[in-house]
Amino acid sequence: MAIFGSSTPVSKIIAAHFPVFSASLLRMLVAAAVLAPFMISRRGELRDAPARDWTTISLIALAGMVGFTATQLFGMRLTTGVIGATVMSSAPAVTALAAVIFLGAAMNWRKGGALALAVIGVVLINVLRERGASGGEAVFLGALLVLIAVCFEAAFTLLSKRLSSGVSSLSATFAASCIAIPAFAALAAIFDPAPFAYWVADPGAWAAIIFWGAGTGALAPVIWYHGVRQAPGPLAAGFMAVMPVSALVLSYILLDESFRWAHLIGFGAVFAGVLLMVWEHAHASGDKDETNASA
């Protein structure tokens, strides 16, 4: 979760040094290269996957890889690291709302409260920005693009639930990354002002993009999915709270952004919503355990 949280400030560094689609292409190449060794023993999962799973994987690539990566980079070009981190922290609440709308999941006061707190926090941190701060309306546009990225991330999560039990999240992530590579190559060739101009970036930007691909695009999912299979559900859910804290702290460290009390107020509201979603996961897991025990 700490590695996942680093995605927001790191993507701002990358967006400042690379063309968006060329950077996204490089991220997918790095992620696929890192995941490839893990796929040696799992190659049968994709070979034997039914057409329905390949359709789902293609949608994951479109939403979770192409859509999420591009909107996050464009958004972080315009907004601040702290605002971006706060908006990204709304992901659990947005995912819960999407599950209610598209999967028929039940809405309760914890999910509703988490969504309300996420909205309040994002609004506060934008409205209470220091007067005269640079960026103007572009900052709001950037925050909106990051919110769209959150929606794509929610789509990634919900689409993953449609995969059959024979296809692991690791295999799906690898396949989706490979599908996204030609898509980003085409987008870079068409839309980037200087496509594939990787040589102009400094070593720090290169380190950021390699970490972005290897860390948040490949290793973090592997570590997370391995961990959640070993740990009890409520414990794993509790560590969701690490991600927004990591995003906020690293925004201060990596981007050298100044602390403002408005940050604490807005982020605090969103983080309270994250804690409500942690409670919801723990509650749902407890109900499931009780049902299994009675059965």
Tens of pLDDT, residues 257-295: 888 777 888 888 888 988 888 888 777 766 665 555 555
What is the biggest distance separating any 2 CA atoms in the chain, rounded to whole angstroms?
63
Q: What is the pLDDT of residue 43?
A: 85
Q: What is the pLDDT of residue 263?
A: 80
| Rounded alpha-carbon distances, angstroms, from residue 85 to 45, 67, 258, 286 | 35, 18, 14, 30
User: Under a CB-based contact definition with an 8 Å cutoff, are residues 90 and 108 in contact?
Assistant: no
User: Under a CB-based contact definition with an 8 Å cutoff, are residues 208 and 14 in contact?
Assistant: yes
Q: Answer positive or negative: Cα dihedral of 28, 29, 35, 36.
A: positive
Total domains in the chain come to 1
Q: What is the pLDDT of residue 163?
A: 87
Q: What is the pLDDT of residue 224?
A: 79
Q: pLDDT (tens digit, 9 = 90+) per residue, 40-53?
A: 888 899 999 999 99
Segments of the chain with pLDDT less than 70 = 129-137, 228-229, 231-237, 285-295
| Rounded alpha-carbon distances, angstroms, from residue 127 to 36, 47, 195, 228, 274 | 45, 51, 36, 37, 21
User: Under a CB-based contact definition with an 8 Å cutoff, are residues 34 and 219 in contact?
Assistant: yes
pTM, whole model, 2 decimals?
0.86
**Domain limits at 164?**
2-294
Residue with tokens 């299979």, as numbered in its chain: 229
User: Under a CB-based contact definition with an 8 Å cutoff, are residues 260 and 80 in contact?
Assistant: no
CA gap 3, 219 in Å, rounded: 9
Q: For 127, how many CA atoms within 13 A lie in the half-sphere containing its CB?
A: 8
